[in-house]
Chains A and B, each alone.
Chain A
Amino acid sequence: MAAFAYASPLEKGWYYLHRLICGAVLLYLVAPILVIIPLSFNSVPFFTYPMPGLSLRWYEEFFLSAGWQGALHNSLFIAVLVTLLSTALGTLAALGLSRPNFPWRAAVMSLLISPMIVPVVITAVAVYFFYADIGLLNSYTGLILAHTLGATPFVVIALTATLMGFDHSLTRAAAGLGAPPITVFFKIILPLILPGMVSGALFAFLASFDEVVVALFVASPEQRTLPMIMFSGLREQYSPTIIAAATVLILFSIVMLTTVELLRRRSERLRGIRR
């Protein structure tokens, strides 16, 4: 495309049209996020520009009211436990799956990923009936386990991708030099897969932190999470406090995304992949 010297005018026209279309699509992608962040600082409870003045009153409401803070606390508590649980389960599974000659690898893998594919309402209703039978309904344990279901596929995917370029001769060398399996894991495998593990864990955290449908079915008001409050709020009336809460969630995503990106670069450097 750079060689304009012999390009026809039609071709040049297409070139600029293509750029224009791409610009519009990228705007469509980021506009909603960029537009609502300033609105959360609006001094009046309306969602139009120009804004008459700036104020932190909606953040004040978000950070000082017991309802929102309780929900934020619940969300963080649940997401942290889900992250730990799903990272442990997912890492073990990914390690097993990435060993050569794993039996029925494709079938097992697609089963482990399926919670991501099955419509979330079906999971929610099925888990709801299941919990009603075994008495886990309206409990933190129940909600954490249900969120772990949805979060582990992210860990498995992130880690199998990291392990794809893993050189198994390293572990064999360590074993050959006399290291017991535990030492091999902590000294050789773990440092190499750590970036993948952390990005998987961050994905798992976000998956739980943003989840609303399963929570609506299996949680009671006691376990109410941030997305649950936002969902019920959005169904009735858009309030600026919800937009402030949304901005806080966006900030969370940005921090996570930056971390994941930095880790990905580090991991590629460690594994010697050049881009």
Chain B
Amino acid sequence: MATMAVQMDGGPDKIPLRLKLQRVERRRKLMSFTLVLPLLLFILIAFVWPIGRMMFNAIHDDTLLTLMPRTTSALSAWDGKDLPDESAYAALVEDLKQAWARKTTGVIAKRINYELPGAGSQVTSSARKASTLSAGPYRSTLIAINPIWGQHDVWIVLKRGHSAYTAYYLLRSFDYQFGSKGQIVASPPENAIFRDVFLRTFGISIAVTAATLLLGFPVAYLLATLPTRTSNLLMIMIVLPFWTSVLVRTAAWGVLLQEHGIVNELLITLHIISRPAELIFNRVGTVVAMTHIQLPFTLLPIYSVMKTISPSYLQAARSLGAGPFYAFWKIYFPQTLPGIAAGCLLTFILCLGYYITPALVGGAADQMVSYFVAHYTNEDLNWGMASALAAILLGATLLLYYAYNKLVGVDRLKMG
């Protein structure tokens, strides 16, 4: 329509048709973009920006730089070999006095304690005593107040505080930390928990993805081959749990899997086991509940691909002499692979971020990365650590989401 209109008045005002068309096209693009703009802005401001800022916290920490400005700048000239000279000690006393007066000692102590466990309380007690000092020599006095100031490593930590950027939190997330000379070393065993957490998160996600595929594939095949009326009826059994709150379903599994819950009672009545099995607050409960929640996510994409596979391929293979299993494996199964990839990838991506379900039906050893992000935010108030763990989890999720978009296309995302 627009093309014709342009053609008609294209003559008199001497603007080439091509330019006019381009202009119309541009105006249309602008119009469609204007429609998307409100939501786009909302997502950018209320979602992308906060997450970006949080990610920034994973490498940005200016606690020492802002709260101990004199010490960190005095140490910038220090070569890091012997103990620093008198001027650095004087700066430290000034900073500690100021911190004591402004009641920021706790923040500084906590920050130093991250890198030197146990040093925090010594910093606080030194600050209390240093607040009464009036004249030097500070070096010997401070070492007399607390021997920690005669040690090399606390000064290295303070020197690193001169930069507002730190790799400390990200290193910790991979179970590395800075050694006494500033080199990167493996974390001591009592701190080295995160590699385990990431491996566990991947492990649980893979187990749940495999379980959903194993359980979902036969059902998808049944639904795709049954007459529409019957399959629609069975579909309700899949979509109803899909649209029930995750919290409700997790609660239901909690009831079912309890020590004297229905599953245990049933198994005992059937003489399969003689005393209640431990089904909850461990890996079994976590995987059973998560598989239940994720099953429709894997099943539905497989089902919609199977719907499009014509039965005549299988019939042709059979009539050409292939056995039933050979024909299924060689002809039918390969055609379902796009659905399998879409379903499994989506389930795996969503599994990585699970929080509620492991928290309610898992034990301490089943908590995934999300739990630790929440834990460091709420309980430890160690926001650098929370951000670093979140950054790695987000990185993995976005990488897989990108792959999903390339492989499947975001348009294919459906909800029942």
Contact = CB atoms under 8 A, between A and B. Distances in A.
A256 B40 CA distance: 28
Contacts of B377: 125, 128, 217
B51 A212 contact: no
A93 B40 contact: yes
Contacts of A32: 241, 249, 252-253, 255-256, 292
Interface stretch (A53-61, A62-70, A103-111): A103-111
Interface in B330-350: 349-350
Contacts of A125: 54, 373-374, 377, 386, 390
Contact of A93 (B39, B215, B260, B394): B39
A26 interface: yes
A22 B394 contact: no
Contacts of B398: 118
Given A109-B410, A149-B47, A33 B397 contact: no
Nearest to A46: B260
Interface in A142-165: 145-146, 148-149, 152, 154, 156-158, 160-161, 164
B46 A30 contact: no
Contacts of A36: 251-252, 255-256
A182 to B, nearest CB: 13
Nearest to B54: A126
A77 interface: no
Contact of B32 (A48, A97, A123, A227): A97
B50 A129 contact: yes
Nearest to B350: A117
Nearest to A17: B218
B32 A21 contact: no
Contact of B50 (A39, A127, A172): A127
Nearest to A202: B243
Interface in B385-403: 386, 390, 393-394, 397-398, 401
A235 B221 CA distance: 38
Contact of A123 (B47, B238, B292): B47
Interface string B29-66: 10111111111101100111111011001000000000
B177 interface: no
A261 to B, nearest CB: 8
A175 B28 CA distance: 14
Given A35-B252, A48-B260, A160 B46 contact: no
Contacts, number: 276
B252 A33 contact: yes
A227 B251 CA distance: 11
A188 interface: no
A106 B295 contact: no
A253 B405 CA distance: 29
A112 interface: yes
The size class of the interface chain A forms with chain B is 35 or more
A43 B245 CA distance: 25
A120 B373 CA distance: 11
B184 interface: no
Interface stretch (B68-76, B140-148, B354-362): B354-362
Given A92-B36, A121-B353, A213-B356, A257 B239 contact: yes
B352 interface: yes
A97 B248 contact: no
B306 to A, nearest CB: 13
B273 to A, nearest CB: 16
Contacts of A118: 51, 353, 394, 397-398
Contact of A253 (B238, B240, B355): B240
Contacts of B35: 92-93, 95-96, 99
B30 to A, nearest CB: 10
Interface residues of B, number: 94
Interface in B363-394: 369-371, 373-374, 377, 383, 386, 390, 393-394
A6 B35 CA distance: 60
A76 interface: no
Nearest to B355: A121
Interface string B156-194: 000000000000000000000000000000000000000
Interface in A23-52: 25-26, 28-33, 35-36, 39, 47-49
Nearest to B373: A121
Given A33-B241, A126-B51, A230-B251, A176 B42 contact: no
Contact of A122 (B218, B255, B296, B390): B390
A27 B259 CA distance: 21
Nearest to A7: B324
Contacts of B222: 18-19, 22
Contacts of A130: 46, 49-50, 53
Contacts of B296: 29
Contacts of A145: 46
A210 B247 contact: yes
B244 interface: yes
B244 A126 contact: no
B8 interface: no
Interface string A1-22: 1000001100100100011011
Nearest to B5: A176
A1 B47 contact: no
A238 to B, nearest CB: 6
A130 B46 CA distance: 8
A257 B240 contact: yes
Given A125-B54, A231-B356, A206 B370 contact: no
Interface of B: 1, 25, 28-29, 31-40, 42-43, 46-51, 53-54, 57, 215-216, 218-219, 221-222, 225, 228, 234, 236-241, 243-256, 258, 260-262, 265, 292, 295-296, 324-325, 349-350, 352-353, 355-356, 359-360, 369-371, 373-374, 377, 383, 386, 390, 393-394, 397-398, 401, 405, 409-411, 413-416
11 contacts: A26-B237, A32-B292, A90-B39, A96-B35, A96-B36, A109-B410, A119-B352, A123-B51, A130-B49, A172-B1, A256-B243
Given A126-B51, A257-B239, 16 more contacts: A14-B325, A26-B219, A29-B241, A32-B241, A33-B244, A36-B255, A96-B35, A99-B31, A119-B370, A123-B51, A161-B414, A176-B1, A210-B245, A212-B356, A238-B254, A246-B248
